């Protein structure tokens, strides 16, 4: 019977066949241990010379790394193994050989691994990270589905910029100019006016010349947008959302988190509510922590975010930033004109900002004034103004960066490991 590694535990004492690759092998004169993987998991196959036909022993002993196989054997319970089972091999058929596989079990440098990303993905560590990424996406959809959000897909090719013009990827759109989307937000606002609570999930692009462990050129963002939801309520939804994602991963990906050596206690603690600190108080806190040269009105860099996050054991919202350093669409604070109703959610342990969100300006005249200040007179934004003209309502939304969230939850040091094929400054291959 043909099955997968993940299903072996349901076939104890039965003889089954799996399609697999050989990820590693140890053998002596009498016994060979085959480390097998099939995408659903990893399992050890044991070949005992005295118990198999001679040609099978010869095949097993000669197998090279990443050879593809059909392996038949009897499933045996084995409490020492991570999957709880072992396969006592009775037959091995080679599908296709693999000679001189470049990624050996020894250590390799980062650039070498990145050049071989198409193969590096097969490793146990990358497999675990991709499984967690998949579960995060699944849990996100689950949360929004349960809370009656409708998924809407904004365009990737756009005629306008949502997050400033300095990081736009330009392309020709026949005779017009177009840009790759930096954020679907503006379109999601239109969608919220049609469908109430909506979310998008898709690739976004920033031509950022930053070479940090948090920046990708192409990254995936989840962007909810909610009609009739004001700033404070949006923060409550965000903390519920992030708690649900983290707790779901803990529940469904324990094995992967263990493979990754993640400290589970740090994640177990991630439950709503999350602390909030205003930008003003964050400045005071930073000065107390010895950042003497930060001044009110300046944006925070990675060291500042890390220092603020260190004061808490959960993600923390930094609220009400100065309007000068935030996007044109954010609604001013009702009692102060110098700050806006926004928040960045900062992950613990130095992973930095994972969410940026705000209440949006819903007043037509104020939005027109912002347009003038930002020089957005272009026809490309006309439709966005019209959203304020026909039954405007208070609304809020946010964007969560998937790769930074995967990095935080898996404990990966750099976002390059959190997406199958990272697009980085100076890297378009493979
Ligand atoms: O803070 P940002 O720029 O917010 C927006 O784009 C809003 N329009 C979202 C919204 O309200 N709908 O980006 C949101 C998140 C950041 O918090 C971060 O997690 C991630 O996107 N992000 C990046 N991730 C990887 N590489 C980059 N270059 C990123 N830039 C932003
Ligand atoms: Mg931001």
pLDDT higher than 80, residue 398: yes
Distance CA 317, CA 337 (A): 20
- Two tokens, residue 347: 């992950």
Q: Which has more pLDDT, 164 or 312?
A: 312
Q: Is 166 exposed, middle or buried (0-12, 13-18, 19+ CB in 10 A)?
A: exposed
What band does 163 get if pLDDT is binned at 50, 70 and 90? Answer: confident
Say which CATH topology domain 117-417 has. BirA Bifunctional Protein; domain 2 (3.30.930)
Q: Tell me the CA–centroid distance for residue 18 and ligand 2, in Å.
A: 46
Which pLDDT value is given to residue 83?
85
Which pLDDT value is given to residue 105?
87
Q: Tell me the CA–centroid distance for residue 176 and ligand 2, in Å.
A: 29
- What mean pLDDT comes out for the span 251-271? 97
| Digit-coded pLDDT (tens) for 319-329 | 999 999 999 99
pLDDT higher than 80, residue 108: yes
DSSP 330: B
Phi then psi dihedrals of residue 296, to 5 deg: -55, 130
- ipTM of the complex as predicted: 0.99
What does each C-alpha distance from 46 to 39, 41, 80, 123, 249 come to in angstroms? Answer: 19, 16, 14, 21, 32
pLDDT higher than 90, residue 162: no
Assign domain 2-96 to a CATH class: mainly beta
Q: Of 129-138, 159-168, 193-202, 283-292, give the lowest mean pLDDT range.
A: 159-168
- The answer to whether 271 and 243 have CB atoms below 8 angstroms apart is yes
Q: Average pLDDT of the chain?
A: 97
| Digit-coded pLDDT (tens) for 349-390 | 999 999 999 999 999 999 999 999 988 877 888 999 999 999
Count of CA atoms in the C-beta half-sphere (13 A) of 215: 15
Report CA dihedral (257, 261, 262, 265) to the nearest 10 degrees: 100
CA nearest ligand 1 atom 22, residue: 401
Ligand nearest to the CA of 354: 1
- What mean pLDDT comes out for the span 269-298? 97
- What mean pLDDT comes out for the span 274-303? 97
Distance CA 122, CA 38 (A): 9
pLDDT higher than 90, residue 25: yes
Helix 124-146 to helix 231-252 angle (10° resolution) is 140
DSSP 103: -
Residues at CB less than 6 angstroms from ligand 1: 162-163, 183, 185, 206, 208, 215-216, 219, 221, 223, 353-357, 397-399, 401, 403-404
Ligand nearest to the CA of 404: 1
- What mean pLDDT comes out for the span 55-64? 98
- What mean pLDDT comes out for the span 282-289? 98
Distance CA 288, CA 196 (A): 43
Distance CA 91, CA 58 (A): 11
Ligand 1 probe mutation, 166, 168, 221, most atoms within 8 A of CB: 221
- What mean pLDDT comes out for the span 28-50? 97
| Digit-coded pLDDT (tens) for 211-240 | 999 999 999 999 999 999 999 999 999 999
Which pLDDT value is given to residue 406?
99
Ligand 1 probe mutation, 401, 403, 427, most atoms within 8 A of CB: 401
Which pLDDT value is given to residue 161?
84
CA nearest ligand 1 atom 6, residue: 183
Q: Where are the domains of the chain?
A: 2-96, 117-417
Cβ neighbours of residue 342 closer than 8 Å, sequence gap 6 or more: 231, 319, 320, 321, 326, 330, 356, 357, 358, 359
Residue among 191, 338, 315, 160 nearest 245 (CA): 315
């Amino acid at each position: 019977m043909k099955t997968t590694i993940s299903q072996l535990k349901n076939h104890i004492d039965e003889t089954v066949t799996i399609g697999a690759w050989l990820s590693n092998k140890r053998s002596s004169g009498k016994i060979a241990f085959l480390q097998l993987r099939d995408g659903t998991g990893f399992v050890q196959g044991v070949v005992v010379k005295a118990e198999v036909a001679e040609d099978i022993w010869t095949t097993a002993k000669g197998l090279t790394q990443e050879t593809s196989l059909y392996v038949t054997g009897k499933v045996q319970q084995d409490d020492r193994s991570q999957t709880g089972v072992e396969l006592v091999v009775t037959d091995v058929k080679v599908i296709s050989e693999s000679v001189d596989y470049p990624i050996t079990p020894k250590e390799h440098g980062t650039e070498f691994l990145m050049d071989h990303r198409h193969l590096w993905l097969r490793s146990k560590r990358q497999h675990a990270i991709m499984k967690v990424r998949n579960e995060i996406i699944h849990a996100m959809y689950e949360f929004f589905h349960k809370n009656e959000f409708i998924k809407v897909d904004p365009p990737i090719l756009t005629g306008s910029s949502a997050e400033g013009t300095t990081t736009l990827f330009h392309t020709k759109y026949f005779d017009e100019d177009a840009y790759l989307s930096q954020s679907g937000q503006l379109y999601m606002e239109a969608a919220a006016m049609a469908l109430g609570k909506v979310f998008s999930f898709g690739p976004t692009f920033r031509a950022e010349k930053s070479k940090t462990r948090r920046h990708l050129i192409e990254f995936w963002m989840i962007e909810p947008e909610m009609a009739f939801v004001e700033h404070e309520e949006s923060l409550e939804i965000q903390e519920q959302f992030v708690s649900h994602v983290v707790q779901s991963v803990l529940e469904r990906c324990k094995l992967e988190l263990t493979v990754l050596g993640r400290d589970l206690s740090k994640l177990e603690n991630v439950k709503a509510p999350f602390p909030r600190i205003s930008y003003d108080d964050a400045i005071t806190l930073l000065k107390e922590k010895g950042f003497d040269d930060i001044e009110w009105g300046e944006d925070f860099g990675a060291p500042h975010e890390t220092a603020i996050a260190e004061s808490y054991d959960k993600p923390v919202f930094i609220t009400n930033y100065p309007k000068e350093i935030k996007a044109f669409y954010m609604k001013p604070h009702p009692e102060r004109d110098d700050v806006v109703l926004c928040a960045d959610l900062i992950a613990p342990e130095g992973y930095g900002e994972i969410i940026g969100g705000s209440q949006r300006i819903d007043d037509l005249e104020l939005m027109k004034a912002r347009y003038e200040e930002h020089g957005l007179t272009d026809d490309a934004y006309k439709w966005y103004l019209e959203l304020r003209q026909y039954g405007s309502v208070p609304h809020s939304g946010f964007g969560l960066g998937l790769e930074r969230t995967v990095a935080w939850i898996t404990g990966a040091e750099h976002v390059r490991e959190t997406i199958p094929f990272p697009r980085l400054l100076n890297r378009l291959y493979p």
